[in-house]
Amino acid sequence: MSYNDDNNMDYDPFDNMDFRTINVNTQRLDLLEQRRKVLNGTDPKLQVEIAKIKEQLNERNLILNAQMDAEYKWISTRCKQESEQLETDETSELSNVITKLSDELDSLKQSLEDYVHKMDLFDRKTLQVFESVCQELNVDDKMDGDYTQDNPLSLLEKRSVMPGRLISDAAIKEDLIHLNQSFVTTEVDTPEVPKLMRPRHKVVMDKARLIYDGKTFYRGQKLFVQTMNYTKFPAIVFALADEYVHIRSRTPGDTREVFATIDDLRAGRVRIGRKVVTSP
């Protein structure tokens, strides 16, 4: 083919085109059409693939939903069990606390009842002692021809001389020396026996306090006590009443105790003090 042939207006380039070129164009057109269908979503193969993918997604969603339901049920069951366990533990702990407090309260009540019973027995014994003393005073007054209507306790306070004893002071002193030599304690420094004294101490007593020669003592207060039977020893005010005081030793293992009336304190048969009591 020459240059003149190319410039000829009657020249047709497709006259020399072979069938391969035609097939390429046809394939190109088919691809374009297929592309258009794919973009529009009307391609049959694409629709089949999309349907498969949707089916797989649905199956996967069903599996996930089943797993979530199972996990939710497990969590709900576990939470319920934990809540019931916590409630049971709290109930058990509360019951134990209530039981412990009830036992402590019962023990405290029993201790108070025992203490009240003991004090009641102490009051009864003291009243019996007072009654016996009053009867003795009444008998003595009647024998002397004195029929005064004064209070027997006041008559007891007016007496300054102790009734006579069957054993002499020297014999008692000798017996105490032997006893102190047999039972040696750290509190007993001397076997001396306190002398019988005339009433000279000022004593005021009630259920709240004891005033002895201007010094005030309360229940539970520590002091030193000395009697006609015991030399001085450290003690504590265990109980107070209107007419008597109960004093106990505060030395471990020492069971000595003293029940002293106002008359005993005023007459000097029982002497107390905040420091070591010394005989005059």
pLDDT digits (tens, 9 = 90+) for 227-275: 988 899 999 999 998 888 999 999 999 999 999 999 999 998 999 998 7
Strand order across the 244-249 sheet: 257-261, 244-249, 233-240, 222-227, 270-273
Domain ranges (residues) in the chain: 18-103, 203-274
pLDDT digits (tens, 9 = 90+) for 139-184: 445 444 444 444 444 544 444 444 444 566 676 767 666 666 655 4
Q: DSSP E strands: which ranges in the chain?
A: 203-205, 209-212, 215-218, 222-227, 233-240, 244-249, 257-261, 270-273
Q: Exposed, middle or buried by CB within 10 Å (0-12, 13-18, 19+), for 152?
A: middle
Give CA angle at 55 (51, 57), nearest 5°: 115
CATH value of 203-274 in 2.30.30, 3.40.1350, 1.10.10, 2.20.28: 2.30.30
Amino acid in position 89 = D
What distance in Å separates the CA atoms of residue 225 and residue 187, rounded to the nearest whole number? 11
Nearest to 231 by CA among 182, 267, 195: 195
- Name the least confident of 32-36, 73-77, 88-92, 193-197: 193-197
Instruction: Kindly state the tokens that stand for 100.
Output: 């412990």
